[in-house]
Each structure stands twice: as structure tokens, then as C-alpha cells.
Chain A
Amino acid sequence: AQSVTQPDIHITVSEGASLELRCNYSYGATPYLFWYVQSPGQGLQLLLKYFSGDTLVQGIKGFEAEFKRSQSSFNLRKPSVHWSDAAEYFCAVAASGGSYIPTFGRGTSLIVHP
């Protein structure tokens, strides 16, 4: 079965600074990978996804993520963080040859200082 690890529970950055949220997965083949964002008290919104092809994926709100097979990682990046980016971020992995049901990481809480 697949698994996903988000090693950082909290990340604090200053507005305008760059951001990288880490995600490592465990799966025997090429997985499907996702990043979601959750504002307080809200549902989850899909930021971006990787199924195949170009390993650098562009998403909404200026986010991007890079799939690195050798490192089993799918880190989320943004060159300049805005205060409105403060939220909980979830990485998810799904088996490409199975039921496609994602397994979610425990999330990383992003705090943005003015």
C-alpha cells in the first residue's frame, strides 16, 4: 500500500519569501500525486496533480511541484508567498494501478508573517 509523509507540521515564512513544502511518498510504481490546500473550516481545494509526463507541474495560485522519482518526493513550491496563502497543505498519493483512492499526509500548516 502507498504512504505519504509530510515531515514539517508547521512552516513559518515572511510575506514575499519563497516557500517549499516537503512531501515524500512510498509506492512501488509511478504514483499519482496531488497537493491540496485547506483554509480554516473549509474543504480541500486541489492545487495541482501529477500523473505522468513533465515532472514539473504548474498549479493554481502560482504554485508548482516537482516529481523526483529518485528521491520519492513531490515538493510544493511558490516563489513569493502572499498572506492569503496561510492555510493547511496536504500532499496525497494514489496507486496508479489500483483503486486510485489517495492516501493523504498529515498536513503542513503554513504561517505567513507580514
Chain B
Amino acid sequence: SQTIHQWPATLVQPVGSPLSLECTVEGTSNPNLYWYRQAAGRGLQLLFYSVGIGQISSEVPQNLSASRPQDRQFILSSKKLLLSDSGFYLCAWSRQTGGYTFGSGTRLTVV
């Protein structure tokens, strides 16, 4: 069966520090991969999605970036975190249809 792993579960980082969140999928090949951010009291905002290695689409311009170095690995990064980057980050994978499977999320607090 397919599983998705996301880490770390929680992270506290100072303003201006770098960020790297990792997501990996097991049990499937060539998945579509996604990064979402969920701010308190709000819905899910799609940040990036990828349909293949090295293929990244950005939905929201900001100081975050994403990379897909391997088929089942998706990384969310920042060179310098802002206070506004605080939130709950969710990785997800899907086939073209069939709904998404989400990771357990990373709670990021920028202080």
C-alpha cells in the first residue's frame, strides 16, 4: 500500500533562518506531489505541485521554493524565513484522479 511521510512534525525557527521540509511517498511511482499551507482558521492554500522529477509549478509567489530531486521526494525550502511563513504545511500525493492522500503535516512557527 502507499504511504506518505512528512517530517519534521513540528519546527520552531527564527526569522531569517533557512527552511527545509521533506516529503516522501512509498508504494507508488510517478505520483503527482503537492505542498499546501494551512493558516489558522483558513482553508488550504496550494503552494507548489509537481507532475514529475524537476517539474515544479508555483501557485503563489513568495519566498518559498520547492524541488523534486527524485520521483517520490518533494522538498519545500526557504533561504530566509519570514514571520508570515508560520503555519501548518501539508504534503500530498495523488494520481491524476482519485483524490489526494495527505501527510501528517508540519507545524512551523517562525519566531
Which residues of A are in contact with B by a Cβ distance under 8 Å? 32, 34, 36, 41-46, 49, 51, 90, 100-102, 104-107
Contact = CB atoms under 8 A, between A and B. Distances in A.
Contacts of B99: 34, 46, 49
Contact of A43 (B43, B46, B98, B105): B105
Contact of B49 (A45, A46, A101): A101
Given A49-B99, A106-B42, A43 B49 contact: no
B43 A45 contact: no
Given A43-B103, A43-B105, A104-B43, A49 B49 contact: no
Contacts, number: 44
Contacts of A36: 100, 102
Contacts of A101: 34, 46, 49
Contacts of B107: 41
A49 B43 CA distance: 18
Given A43-B102, A90-B44, 13 more contacts: A32-B97, A41-B105, A42-B104, A43-B6, A43-B90, A44-B90, A44-B92, A46-B99, A100-B94, A101-B49, A104-B43, A105-B43, A107-B43
B102 A100 contact: no
